[in-house]
Structures are given as C-alpha cells and as structure tokens.
Structure 1
Amino acid sequence: MLTDDASTAAQDPCPDREIESLREFDEVVARGTLAGYRVQSVDLTDRTRALLDTDTAEAVFLGCPMEPEAAAKVRAGGALVFPPVPGLPFDPYRGTLYSPQELFEGLAEQGYAGTPDALAYAWFQRTKADGDIFSSMLRSIHDDAVSDALDELLTGSRVVGVMGGHALERGSEGYAGAARLGRALARAGLTVATGGGPGAMEAANLGAYAAPFADDMLDESLELLAKAPSFRPSVGEWAEVAFAVRERWPDGGASVGIPTWFYGHEPPSAFASHIAKYFANATREDGLLARSNAGVVFLPGAAGTVQEIFDNATPNYYESRGEPTPMVLVDRDHWTRRLPTWPLLEALAEGRPMKARIALVDSVDEAPGALISLGASRAASPAG
C-alpha cells in the first residue's frame, strides 16, 4: 500500500530523522530538539523563534528558506545550512516525489513550454554538456533526493514494473490492453510502476488509476483519450485530455511513474500519482527495475524494452538465494519472431533458479495470472 508519509510512526514523528514538512518540523520541535535531524526543503521563514530556541547541534538544513538571524544562530549551534539555489526551475533538495499537477502547473495559462517539467528539461539541455561542476552537482543532489523519497514511498510495497514502447497510441487495442493490465495488477494489491512516459507506460498508469472505479470508467476514459492519440504534435493537448479524465473521475488509484529528463521530449504520465523524475537515465532505469520487487511485465517494445529485459535478467541470473523476481513477456510472436528475445532469455535461464520465474504469454490479459503464479503475490521486502 502506497503512503505519502512513511515517517508517521507512533512515537518519533521522524524515525528516519528526516523532516520534510512543517507539520513534522513542529512535532519535532515540540519534543525539544532538532539535534541530528535533516530538514529538507521546508520553508522556515515563519519559524524563526523555534529555530532560535531549539538545539540544532549536528542538524542539516537542505534548501530551507529562513531569516538571516535564524540561519546565523543554527550555524553557530553546530548545524550545516545549505541555502536554496536561486534561479532553478526545480528544487534539488526536495523531500517528496512530484505529482502530475506540479509538473504540469501552468499548462492552461502558458502552454506546455511554460510548465515546470518543460523548464527543467530546457535547463538540462543548456547545462548537460557545459562541463560546469555546479550544474552536475545539482543534478546529482536532485536525483539522490528523488531516490530517497521513492524508497520512503515504496517501503513494504509489492511493486510490479510494466515496461513497453512509448509510441503506443491512445485509441489502439495495445493501449487498451496495457490499461487493463495496470488495472488488474492494482486490483490484485500490487503497486504498478512504469517508466512514467507516454504509450504503454501511460496506459498502465491509467489502468491503476481506474482500479477503484467500475469497469465502464476505463472504457469511457479510453474513448476520451483517443481524441489526442499522441503527444505529437501537441503535448499540451495530449496532457489536457488526460487531466480532463482525472477531473471527471477524481481520486483514482495510486501508481508510480519513473521518467527522465534525458528523454525530456517525452512528457510524463498524468495518471501516475507519484512521479520520480530523474536527470540521469541510467539511475532511473536501474532504479525502476531494482524496485520492481514483485516482478516485471514486458509488453511489446523495441530497443529500450529489449535492453530492460536483459537489465532485469542480469541480477536474476546471479541471484544466489533462489529468489529471482518474476518476468513475464507478452506477445509470443513479437518476442520469438519479430525480436527473438525469448529464446536467448530461456537459454540464459537454463540451469538457474530464474528458470522457474520467467514466462511467455500470448495475450496481455494472461499476464497478471502468469505473474502471480510465478510468485508476485508473495510478501515483498522493504524497498531499497
């Protein structure tokens, strides 16, 4: 079960010593000390008196606005203060994942080019090759903060990754099948995680969003979304239709999208409730597969999906405890004839524990049952 706040333990409000909201800050201050805590991106300009009166020895303040008097006091009291970085279209110290509303903020008024998502991509394009160590440091800090927030969110969850091509258009049978898959997995109590982009990824997140509703909600949503089949030529139109679906059916099911600004021309899915967006694609790819602790479903795709199959197979191959994660490949013809990945995967698995955890199915509707039969329903270990 996903939770936005993994640190609401009965005794210590922040058992991991990380403060990520004003509520947590006030609860910790009420206990008498901030010593040793890490405060991430919390606006403390209205908490000067608390900062002046509370022990802050060995505390760390990451991107927390505060009055100069308070900043001077906490430094003198033994804290490290990393001030906010002006002029950035993102917060490198953020303590939580993104929401679709945050990334697409201002879409209606300014168009997609004026949204935080597009502005972060533009900044990345300007700085990724300039050799500036400060820019690369900011990207690394941001991505590490996102990973920390993702681990906190997924602790204890049974996560199933859904991989597939980004070019799959709304209105196609393949898109509808991927949406049914996401819905079935979510209804089985699994947390759906995707690459967070368009195509099959968006469809699986849509299915998870539709899980709490009656079945006809998904059918109607697919009809509405088909009016904007692709994010080309207009990301704005593509996203606006998705938000119209969310507005008509609010409070849908939760899922995770893990996209990257490395492929920033592909917009993030508006149906993922939690978005872990990275600058470094390698970190994103490895993190998505590593956190899919209940298995991965691979829908038809091209080079990227083939790479993900063997990226996932490698740790399974070397798994020494006999607990490789399940892998289900969907569409026999695609994976045996068009892109003959399955024979190589079978040969690799021969004589290894992973042999019992791989399956090839003809239809996307067979995938949830195959995944569960391979062991996806077993209790998951904490993420990370």
Structure 2
Amino acid sequence: MAHHNDQEIETLEEFDATVSARGSLAGFRVQAVDLTDRTRELLACDTAGAVFLGCPMRENAAAKVRADGALVFPPLPDLPFDPYRGHVYSPEELFDSLDKGYEETPDALAYDWFRRTGADRDIYASMLRSVHDDSVSDALDELLRGARVVGVMGGHAIARGSAAYGGAARLGRALARAGFTVATGGGPGAMEAANLGAYAAPYRDGMLDEACELLGKAPSFVPSVTDWARAAFEVRTRWPKGNTSVGVPTWFYGHEPPNAFASHIAKYFANATREDGLLARSNAGVVFLPGAAGTVQEIFDNTTPNYYESRGEPTPMVLVDRAHWTERLPAWPLLQALARDRPMESRITLVDRIEEAPEALDRLSRVNET
C-alpha cells in the first residue's frame, strides 16, 4: 500500500478497512474508488466534510452523502482519462488495446483529446487537465516517499541498437543495482534505455544485450509506434520480472510515446509541471546524457534551485561526454561560471564516458554527506 495522507482513500480495500475500523468517513477524501457496491456502508456511516472525487455510486447513496455535507465530484465517463486518479499509470494501462494499433490506446486517445481541447481553448478542459496533473503529482509523491531517486536525462532521438542506447541502458542498470530509483522523462531514446537498464537489473548481464538486440528490430517509434511498442512488450514478456523505475512523460510532446520499461508512469498534460517535478524529485542527483534543447533546458532548470539552495542541499549533477557539453553545446562553461563560489560547485562534474557516471555520482553524494 502506498504511503499517503491518512485521510485519503484510494482503493476499495482502504475504504473497507476505514469503515470497519472507524465507522465513519467524516473528513476523508475518497479518490477514484468504485463505490457502486458499497451503498449500505455509505448510507450507514457519517460522511460530513468528506470529499468524493470521481467515485461511482448509486443515486440514493450520492443523495445521502450530499445531505451529510459531503462534496461529490462525479465521474466523467466520456473522457479518455480519469482526472481524479489515485495512482500513476502503468505501461499496460497506457498501451491497452495495442493489439488494435497504437491509435486505439488510452495514451493516443488522451493525446488526441489534448490537441483538440487545447485548440478550442476550453476552460473546462483546462480545469480537467489541471486536476489530472495535480492528482498525478500527489500519486508520484506517494510512490517515491523515502526513495533515493536519480534522474537520467538525455535525448529522445537515440536509436535502439546504437552504442549510445546501450550505454544509457547499462547506466540505468548500474544505478538500479546500487539501490537507486531511476527516473527519466519517460519517452523514447536515452530515456527508454535508462528505464530498460533499470528493468534489467535483476537479470544476468547478458540479458540486457539480448534485449537490446531484440529492440533493435524496431529502432525508432517512427514510422510505427505500434511496432516500436510491441517490441518492448516482447522483451517484457520474455523477461517478466524486471525491476521498477519511473517515467515522467508529457502529452505536450504527445507525438513521442511513453516507453514501456518504466514500471510507473506519471504522465502530465503540462510540460512545465512535468519538468520541474521530475527534477525536484531527483533527490539523489541527476545524470545528463548528450541531448539537445530539452536536455539543455533541464540542466539549467536543475541549476537554478541548486544555485539558490531553494531545495536544501544542492543535488549532484553529472554531465556525460566532455566534447558534447564543452564544444557542440557548451553548457559546461556557463554551468561552471554559475557554480563558482557557490555551494553547488562541489556537486557538479563532467565525465568523458557514461561508465564513469555512477562513480562520479557516488563521489558527489559523499560530499553532501560531509
């Protein structure tokens, strides 16, 4: 069971346990729980001050709890997503109906809805997106409470089967085996590779090489997201007991599908909320692999709170590939200039090879401890 506010109920089991132990739901928040078969309990117990968010219930039960003074936000069945959801997504949930083609999956349908309502500038749709994203943030906080999270950032264009993809996968595996929770932007490329590596952590080393070879048959989500996703689920079926990790993608870039190797997917509509939330939750450090505009943005999004120490102790930052970050996209000199004479100066480093990143992260973490 997730660790969350004692006043929150997010499963039918929690609902039953609360009613049994307390005989009252007064002041509780019940989130996306189907209460159709709990009419007797709702009629019998006090619900004053309770809030029911997207909970199906029979009309007599709904009338009674409203009379008690509870707030009832009804389910919205015509949406391709649940704005009141109590948990982050799973790959199986987002890719449901993949056998009919990616276009029929909940992920694709939510993206279509987002594009349509965004163009309409419908304030009702905007409110629903905000409620959804806040629910996802709450669920992600509950999921990661007490975890040591390392963020892995990098470009979406790295193809399966490439040396860069394999390196990012080995990085994810090394971090997971060291006891970290790997968190990525949840998309393809380097993000998928790091989630794949974390997934592969419990298996022998050769498994990752075999998985990368299988995935190489569909190197990109272009031209077919369906084939790309099916290859990932083929790997998951062959090796079904993978380790957990987190992906934090966005429908703002909905043309890039989420990857299926993150066991927990916190998908957002608002990209700004997603970016800041991913970096803020990477409490054990961030590794930046070679990337383009999005990765550069993430470097400096993470630098700002480190510079001002607005999140407490600066978190370690490891940039991988000296030539990339000093010549092709020279973010490193500016980062050094910002860090000079600041506490974050001892928490940033540049390494040449991806294999050096875990040791560098460990070294910077020990600086924090001292």
With normalisation by structure 1, the TM-score equals: 0.94
Matched with 1:59 is: 50
How far apart in 1 are the matches of 2:174 and 2:98? 31
Deviations along 1:129-150, one digit per CA (max 9) or x if unpaired, are 3121110000000000000000
SS at match of 1:252: coil
Contact 2:172 2:182 in 1 (8 A): yes
Which of 349, 352, 373 does residue 363 from structure 2 map onto? 373
Q: Say if 1:321 and 1:42 are closer, same or farther in 2 by CA, change over 3 A.
A: closer
Q: Does 1:94 align with 2:52?
A: no
Report the more deviating stretch, 126-135 or 262-271.
126-135
CA distance in 2, matches of 1:173, 1:181: 12
Instruction: Quote the offset at 1:332 in angstroms.
Output: 0.5
Contact 2:346 2:367 in 1 (8 A): no
Q: Which residue of 2 aligns with 1:12?
A: none
How has the CA–CA distance of structure 1 residues 189 and 96 changed in structure 2, closer, same or farther, with 3 Å as cutoff? same
CA distance in 2, matches of 1:240, 1:118: 15
Partner of 1:6: 3
2: CA distance, partners of 1:69 / 1:38: 20
Q: 1:321 to 1:64 in 2, by over 3 A?
A: closer
Instruction: Say whether the 8 Å CA contact 2:348–2:364 is kept in structure 1.
Output: yes
RMSD, matched Cα: 1.3
For residue 340 of structure 1, what is the amino acid of its counterpart?
P
**What's 1:45 paired with?**
36
C-alpha displacement of 1:6: 1.9
By percentage of residues, which structure has more helix? 2
The one of 149, 155, 179 aligned to 2:145: 155
Q: Where has structure 1 moved over 3 Å in runs of 4 or more?
A: 376-379
Shift of 1:251: 1.9
> Equivalents in 1 of 2:224, 2:349: separation in Å?
38
CA contact (8 A) 1:294 1:377 kept: no
Match of 1:222 in 2: 212
TM-score, scaled relative to structure 2: 0.97
Size of the alignment, in residue pairs? 368
Q: Distance in 2 between matches of 1:213 and 1:352?
A: 42
Give the secondary-structure state (helix, strand or coil) at the position aligned to 1:128.
helix
What secondary structure, in the 3-state scheme, does the structure 1 residue paired with 2:276 have? helix
* SS of structure 1 residue aligned to 2:52: strand
1:162 alignment partner, SS class: strand
The 1:19/1:377 distance shift into structure 2, 3 A limit, reads farther
Q: Secondary structure, in 3 states, of the residue corresponding to 2:182?
A: strand
Question: Is 2:222 aligned against 1:232?
Answer: yes
2:68 aligned residue (48, 66, 77) = 77
Q: Does 1:133 align with 2:130?
A: no
Unaligned runs of 5+ in 2: none
**Which residue in the other structure is 1:346 paired with?**
336
Aligned 1:96-245 pairs, distance under 5 A: 96-108=87-99, 110-245=100-235
Distance 1:321 1:126 in 2: 37
SS of corresponding position for 1:253: coil
Q: In the alignment, does 2:306 pair up with 1:316?
A: yes
Q: Tell me the secondary structure at the aligned position of residue 119 of structure 2.
A: coil
Contact 2:91 2:261 in 1 (8 A): yes
Give the superposition deviation at 1:376: 7.0
Contact 2:347 2:367 in 1 (8 A): no
What is the SS of the residue equivalent to 2:150? strand
Q: 1:321 to 1:154 in 2, by over 3 A?
A: closer
Separation of aligned partners in 2, 1:378 and 1:121: 41
Matched, 1:36 2:27: yes
More relative contact order in 1 or in 2 (CA 8 Å, sep 6+)? 1
Cα distance in 2 between the residues matched to 1:214 and 1:69: 57
Aligned mate of 2:16, from 22, 26, 30: 26
SS at match of 1:6: coil
Partner residue in 2 for 1:299: 289
Q: Secondary structure at the match of 1:328?
A: strand
